[in-house]
Structure 1
Amino acid sequence: MNKKSIFIIILLSTLAFGYYSSTGANEVSMRYTSNPQLPTILPSSEWLGTPLDSKGRFVNLYHPFESSFGDLIKWQTTKNPQKEEKKSENRRLLVELDSIIWKGSDDYLVWLGHATYLFRIDGTVFLTDPLLLDNTFLKRDSDLPFPVHHMPRVDFLLLSHNHRDHCDEKTLRFLAEKNPNMKVLTGLGLQTIIESWLKGHTVQEAGWYQQYTLLDSGLSITYVPSRHWSRRWLWDDNQSLWGGFFIQNGEKSIYFMGDSGAGAHFADIQRHLGSPDYCLMGVGAFKPEWFMHQAHISPSDAISAFNTLQGKFFIPMHFGTFDLSDEPRMEPWDILVQNQSRIDGALVEPIIGRNLMADR
């Protein structure tokens, strides 16, 4: 591979997924922030808010992000030991649209691939981290269960962080045009990135353990920590927050992990908010583990995190739709099936288009 090819690969990877290098939580000079207009569910009497380093960048609670640009180069220029296995992989995620889902007023939870879930609770429709249309960097390896213009009405759009496989400009512009009353719930700092894509839609930003105030009574959404990082361009490393969502009503609860490495924050979430019924857990884009482990949890570690959360249903995501890493497309699912006896709950096969709440 010549130097020009290496440069192009590194440049595309940087623009597509961003990169960050910092001592993070090891900084001596720390300060804390939150949205003063939102209530905070205090995890402890010592909670001061979402931490920032001395340069005003968000940092993880327990694990500083210590990878370097050199690690990115090393990954991109090192031969993938599973290259041939990955190349010969011919399995795809199953797609089965159940048209009955959209009829009536029952709750539903439908995977659309990667980190995109469409779900309805008490008549309100939510959509997480949508990437529905191919863009310059990312092409789908799995089909949507319906033509994108048949997307049901969306009341609330939940954006976990600013990376391009979770926050896609083309998709957000499409959704904004189609849903004039849609509201956006996200983390601190993301509004400046997305507001020009919207059409005056309401955006509410939260810090970790803050609850959004735009929902009807009886339904709450809390923005919760993850172990990750953010970057959209070359100059905005960790200037917007990353996290997950904990959705609750009187009957059920859903935990959406977003992107995360392993960490003590899973125990914190369970201790402060309770055990979720449906755990939407990322399991893909985890190889090589020496490089990915700080940002993307492995299937095995995701099982441990699910058990820590004490959830009822383990629903995997973040695999099979986009080619982001070294493992074959369906390997994360295979690992989960092989280790199903370790899961203290029910493993749900995430068939795209199926109501994953049905009969549960």
Structure 2
Amino acid sequence: MTMATAAVVLTSLWLLQACSSPNAVQQLITEQDVIEQVPEGKQQGMYRNLYRGKQDYPVTCEDDCYPPHPEVACKSHGQDCQFIGDQTPPELTSGFLVHWVGHASFLIKSPDGQQLLFDPVMGQFDRPVSWAAHLIGLRRPVPAGLPQEQLAASDAVLYSHLHYDHFSHATIRQIGTEARYYVPVGMADYMPKGGYQVLEKAWYSSSELGELTVHMVPAHHFNSRMLFNDDNKAKWAGWLIEHQGNTLFFAGDTGYSPHFSDIQQRYGDIDICLIPVASYHHDEHTEWYRYVHTTPEDALVAADDLGCKVMIPWGYGNASWQMGDHSSHSPLLRLLHMQQQLDSQVPLLILNEGDSVQL
């Protein structure tokens, strides 16, 4: 055996050992926190939404929902666009820096100097879904992402649920084991092995991270990682980060329901709201999309329910997966159209993928 071959063998053994190292898992759940599980029957123990059954949507765009907008410059209608309008942030003194990586992924610098990641997915789908996606032609352009050293400098990673466009084993391995991983209850079982620090939380649970308070809050969605056999065996959530009374909210994937009003009643008006506006497209055959994803008009109503001082929409973009959408920027066109139709008073701050803003 040559020295080079020996080095490869030793490296491979080390990697196998690292990948098999058990994770350090802690559950941060008290009797006051909300779990919400099916109490009996075949689905006993599975997690469920707070508000089940048909939802009341205050407004729905019916006609001409995607008119061109002078501040959205596109190569073709709604496709391959850039927002070229005013990006002056509102006068907030929250101290949070928001960097939109793309789709649902955000990097947040907190006022106490910590770096947080929401739903970081830096590449395509994890295997085996990446293989199936390739076969059917579902492949987004490679996003700019974040440099390896910046990912590894993260203090905390907060995942909302298991779906492949929100939770990535490949990205977790890039981030490494120095960060704390915050996940909804049940999701620790889906983390890759390798000595990661994992904290499982329930709805309305709170914990301290430096000067921050990390609240896990409800979302109206569902959860699965494998086909057919693990539906809703792990929880889904949004996140609320608090620093000296200033708040930043990440909704995760969610449909519209009264849970937005519940969050406002518990925590007060929210300073910064990161709310999805994509993957909602529905007709008589796909009503399920809207049940678990906010339309742009649902997002505006939700922002009003939350008392958002600024709303930053996400989900559209040139590197989005366009799941359930007409084009890369049709959600943004519909959002700007419905903002005018509803005379919404919630300030919008529109970002392009890769943009940062200090708030």
| Structure-1 separation of matches of 2:333 and 2:78 | 13
What is the number of residues matched between the two proteins? 285
Tell whether 2:239 aligns with 1:236.
no
Structure with higher Rg: it is 2
Tell whether 2:162 aligns with 1:162.
yes
For residue 74 of structure 1, what is the aligned residue in structure 2? none
On the 8 A contact 2:148/2:174 being kept in 1, the answer is: no
For residue 345 of structure 1, what is the aligned residue in structure 2? 346
Moved more, 148-157 or 284-293: 148-157
| Structure-1 separation of matches of 2:186 and 2:308 | 30
On the 8 A contact 1:206/1:212 being kept in 2, the answer is: no
After superposition, the Cα gap between the structure-2 partners of 1:222 and 1:322, relative to the gap in structure 1 and judged at 3 Å, is same
Give matches, 1:74-93, under 5 Å: 89-93=78-82
For residue 172 of structure 1, what is the aligned residue in structure 2? 172
| Structure-2 separation of matches of 1:175 and 1:36 | 22
1:39 positional shift: 4.7
In structure 1, which of residues 179, 197, 201 is the aligned counterpart of residue 196 of structure 2?
A: 201
| Structure-2 separation of matches of 1:167 and 1:146 | 16
1:37 positional shift: 4.2
For residue 140 of structure 1, what is the aligned residue in structure 2? 140
For residue 52 of structure 1, what is the aligned residue in structure 2? 38
1:64 positional shift: 4.2
For residue 120 of structure 1, what is the aligned residue in structure 2? 109
1:294 positional shift: 1.2
On the 8 A contact 1:277/1:311 being kept in 2, the answer is: yes
For residue 268 of structure 1, what is the aligned residue in structure 2? 262
SS in 1 for 2:239: strand
| Structure-2 separation of matches of 1:65 and 1:161 | 22
| Structure-2 separation of matches of 1:330 and 1:94 | 10
Listed one character per residue, the Cα deviations across residues 26-66 of structure 1 (whole Å, up to 9, x for unaligned) are xxxxxxxxx97445766xxxxx6433342110011111499
1:355 positional shift: 2.0
Moved more, 330-339 or 267-276: 330-339
Structure 1 residue runs of 5 or longer lacking an equivalent are 1-34, 43-47, 67-81, 96-105
TM-score (norm 2): 0.72
1:309 positional shift: 0.4
Residue identity matched to 2:201 = A
| Structure-2 separation of matches of 1:294 and 1:305 | 14
| Structure-1 separation of matches of 2:273 and 2:170 | 28
On the 8 A contact 1:126/1:154 being kept in 2, the answer is: yes
Tell whether 2:275 aligns with 1:281.
yes
After superposition, the Cα gap between the structure-2 partners of 1:151 and 1:41, relative to the gap in structure 1 and judged at 3 Å, is same
For residue 78 of structure 1, what is the aligned residue in structure 2? none
1:116 positional shift: 0.4
Listed one character per residue, the Cα deviations across residues 75-97 of structure 1 (whole Å, up to 9, x for unaligned) are xxxxxxx9xxx9975323569xx
On the 8 A contact 1:310/1:344 being kept in 2, the answer is: no
Listed one character per residue, the Cα deviations across residues 289-324 of structure 1 (whole Å, up to 9, x for unaligned) are 523011111001110010010111110012221121
| Structure-2 separation of matches of 1:279 and 1:331 | 21
On the 8 A contact 2:117/2:158 being kept in 1, the answer is: yes
Residue identity matched to 1:51 = Q
Residue identity matched to 2:188 = Q
| Structure-2 separation of matches of 1:283 and 1:355 | 19
1:337 positional shift: 1.4
| Structure-2 separation of matches of 1:128 and 1:200 | 20
For residue 187 of structure 1, what is the aligned residue in structure 2? 184
On the 8 A contact 1:145/1:352 being kept in 2, the answer is: no
| Structure-2 separation of matches of 1:153 and 1:36 | 24
| Structure-1 separation of matches of 2:102 and 2:148 | 13
On the 8 A contact 1:116/1:130 being kept in 2, the answer is: yes
SS in 1 for 2:37: strand
Tell whether 2:130 aligns with 1:129.
no
On the 8 A contact 2:123/2:143 being kept in 1, the answer is: no
Tell whether 2:293 aligns with 1:296.
yes
User: Hey, which of these two has a bigger chunk of strand by percent?
Assistant: 2
For residue 102 of structure 1, what is the aligned residue in structure 2? none
Listed one character per residue, the Cα deviations across residues 157-214 of structure 1 (whole Å, up to 9, x for unaligned) are 00001111101121112222xxx31110010000000142xx212100111111134x
SS in 1 for 2:265: helix
In structure 1, which of residues 100, 110, 113 is the aligned counterpart of residue 99 of structure 2?
A: 110
On the 8 A contact 1:39/1:211 being kept in 2, the answer is: no
Residue identity matched to 2:308 = G
| Structure-2 separation of matches of 1:125 and 1:39 | 27
| Structure-2 separation of matches of 1:169 and 1:145 | 15
TM-score (norm 1): 0.72
Fraction of identical pairs, as percent: 26
| Structure-1 separation of matches of 2:32 and 2:347 | 29
For residue 328 of structure 1, what is the aligned residue in structure 2? 327
Considering only aligned residues, what root-mean-square deviation do their CA atoms show, in Å? 2.8
| Structure-2 separation of matches of 1:257 and 1:230 | 15
